[in-house]
Amino acid sequence: MATPAPTAEAAVSQEEVKPYKIHVSSKYLDLTRQKLELTRLPHENPEPKSRDWWEPKPIVESLIDFWLEHYSWRDEETRLNATVPQFRTSLLVPGTESTAVRLHFVHAPSPHSNAVPLLLIPPFPFTNLSLAHIIRPFTDPEDATTNQPFHLVMPSLPGLGFSDALPKNTPTISATVEMLDALMRRLGYRHYITTHPGPSASSPSQIDWKLVDALARNYQDSCLGAHFISPPWRAPKIQESPLDWARWRVADTLQKPAFGYSQEDLVAWQRAKHSRRDRLDRDPRPEEFAFDGNGFREPNTLSYALCDSPIGLLLFVLMVLRVLGPDKELTPQELITLTELTWLPGPEEMLRFWANCGSAEEDRQQQQQQHQPPAGRRPKIAITTFTGDDGKGVLSIAPRPAAHFYACPGWGKARYDTVATQRVAGKPGLLAWERPEVILSGTRGLAKAILAGDKRLLQTSAGALATAPLQQGAIVDGGGLGDAHAAANASARGTTVREAAGSQSEAAPTIRKPAPGPLGAGPSSQRPAAAQRQPLVMDKMTVGRISEDQEDDQEPSPDTVVAVGHGVAPGPALVPQIRVG
């Protein structure tokens, strides 16, 4: 397929979109290792077991040992740089005249001529790099004539991963969606569709839902449709839409299909109600995230704690996964990588993004917009909803999986033009890892419905900015990355480590060893001090000594340089198949 000439807008944008490769300072990896070596776990009385909350100590001890003895961030870094087409571009912050932030994103154009642009927003609080395994199915399906392919764009939200944070006091949702729409236009996609790959009803502060919904409602000239997964819809209210309320009341009361409500809707709704009632009878305490209620409005306390503790952040990741209720367990390799993708750039802006999205003002504005009738045409949407199960085997101690919520597709009639519906058995769980085909199916249903009457999705692809298409079978040798790193050394946002007083700029950061005290029981309790334990996997590194990497020798200070972007073309992309379980 011939590559069309870029438009004038795309030609200008080409100078603004830069290929990107991750490179974490070895000094920061040394510091991470030191902190792991000096981990002090809480006391736990082995018996009796708590009936109120989880006791993750045995899991954490084994993960610490795996992190120290078997895990290599350098291997993950090399794999991501070799297999994921990464870029970064500066975008103006809405409401400002000169303030810009750099967004890190994955852009994987499809090789197929019938592909349509798709903006896939990663499930909060995960980053785009954690979804590398779904790139190939979206962009290059086995049969592109029957399975709709996509030009895939996956950004990291501002402040997450390797994207810069928004300035303080910026309206988070509205600013983010405006920047995401600007990103798609910068890439030459004048029209596109969007989706999120996780259940939005259980997303922290419903961030996934708020972003995709705002795009669908406010950017209909460019965002031609949105795929909602388990949206947090409520049954129609009489004051909002009397006719829709009456129709739902008739169907629900009679428990018979009517007015577009299927028998499957009615059964799933009753099952969800009974499940939630049973949970409240067993335990009336707040569900989901313990600090995601009205009290989570100040993120800095938790930010300071997690910025200084990789194990604290690992526990945070385990908690998020536990709330999402996956059916399969992730491998230690996957768990540590998920943690590192937040630990290395720093978790503070992620927590601030979360708190801002959950603020009373943001919630008030969002709810007002959701309940208002559309000012013009209703946005086109596809909906995927899950019918649930019998609720047996649900964890009874905190943190518990989020209660299953069933959103009837008919509940959105007043505000949305629903063009495709997908009802899926069971609960969503960790959807992007366990059942990505569900995301694909729902998104393809949306694309098919829109393309039936609107060909702009295909036309817009002709003017797209050419970046780096995925190529199969190519592996970048790790030894060749050093030359690329030496070619350009632009520092990116990262957590800074305060230098010890009187230390030289070449010295590795130091931390004070905690006072002697009991560590956790088990095989890790007698862990030797960092200076005594030999590194097992980190090449060319020992604790307290600077790495011999050429790029680190050029650093002007011991402050952490988490990543560098390079003005060189990214290597050919090969999507890894990540095993779950």
C-alpha to C-alpha distance for 336 and 317, rounded to whole angstroms: 9
Q: How far is CA 112 from the centre of its chain?
A: 27
Q: How confident is the model at residue 78 (pLDDT cuts 50, 70, 90)?
A: very high
pLDDT tens column, 188-245 = 999 999 999 888 777 788 899 999 999 999 999 999 999 999 888 888 888 878 888 8
Is the model's pLDDT at 437 over the cut of 50?
yes
pLDDT for the residue 466: 60
Is the model's pLDDT at 346 over the cut of 80?
yes
Contact 118, 195 (CB under 8 A): yes
Is the model's pLDDT at 269 over the cut of 90?
no
Q: How confident is the model at residue 50 (pLDDT cuts 50, 70, 90)?
A: low
- Selection from 353, 361, 378, 362 nearest residue 216 by Cα: 378
Domain 22-39+50-458: give its CATH superfamily: Alpha/Beta hydrolase fold, catalytic domain (3.40.50.1820)
pTM for the full predicted model: 0.74
CA distances for 156 relative to 105, 138, 354, angstroms: 6, 18, 14
Q: How confident is the model at residue 267 (pLDDT cuts 50, 70, 90)?
A: confident
| Tokens of residue 425, six digits | 């058995």
C-alpha to C-alpha distance for 218 and 159, rounded to whole angstroms: 23
pLDDT for the residue 154: 97
Half-sphere exposure of 395 (CA within 13 A, CB side): 21
Q: How confident is the model at residue 130 (pLDDT cuts 50, 70, 90)?
A: very high
pLDDT for the residue 297: 66
Q: Is residue 89 within a helix (H) or strand (E), and if so which, with residue range?
A: strand 86-92
pLDDT tens column, 482-516 = 333 333 233 333 333 333 333 333 333 333 333 33
Q: How confident is the model at residue 73 (pLDDT cuts 50, 70, 90)?
A: very high
Q: How confident is the model at residue 548 (pLDDT cuts 50, 70, 90)?
A: very low
Q: How confident is the model at residue 272 (pLDDT cuts 50, 70, 90)?
A: confident
Backbone CA torsion sign across 538, 73, 140, 186: negative
Lowest mean pLDDT among 140-154, 308-322, 561-575: 561-575
- Work out the average pLDDT over 14-22: 82
Our CA angle for 120, 126, 127, nearest 5°, is 60
Q: How far is CA 241 from the centre of its chain?
A: 35
C-alpha to C-alpha distance for 215 and 224, rounded to whole angstroms: 9
Is the model's pLDDT at 333 over the cut of 90?
yes
User: How many Cβ atoms from other residues are within 10 Å of residue 466's Cβ?
Assistant: 15
Q: Which residues pair with 90 in a beta bridge?
A: 102
- Selection from 138, 132, 133 nearest residue 111 by Cα: 138
pLDDT for the residue 406: 80
Q: Which residues pair with 192 in a beta bridge?
A: 223
C-alpha to C-alpha distance for 257 and 248, rounded to whole angstroms: 10
Lowest mean pLDDT among 59-63, 145-149, 178-182, 388-392: 388-392
C-alpha to C-alpha distance for 470 and 474, rounded to whole angstroms: 10
Report percent pLDDT > 70 for the chain. 65
pLDDT for the residue 75: 95
Cβ-count burial of 568 within 10 angstroms (0-12 exposed, 13-18 middle, 19+ buried)?
middle
Lowest mean pLDDT among 65-79, 204-218, 253-267: 253-267
C-alpha to C-alpha distance for 185 and 191, rounded to whole angstroms: 8
Contact 208, 219 (CB under 8 A): no
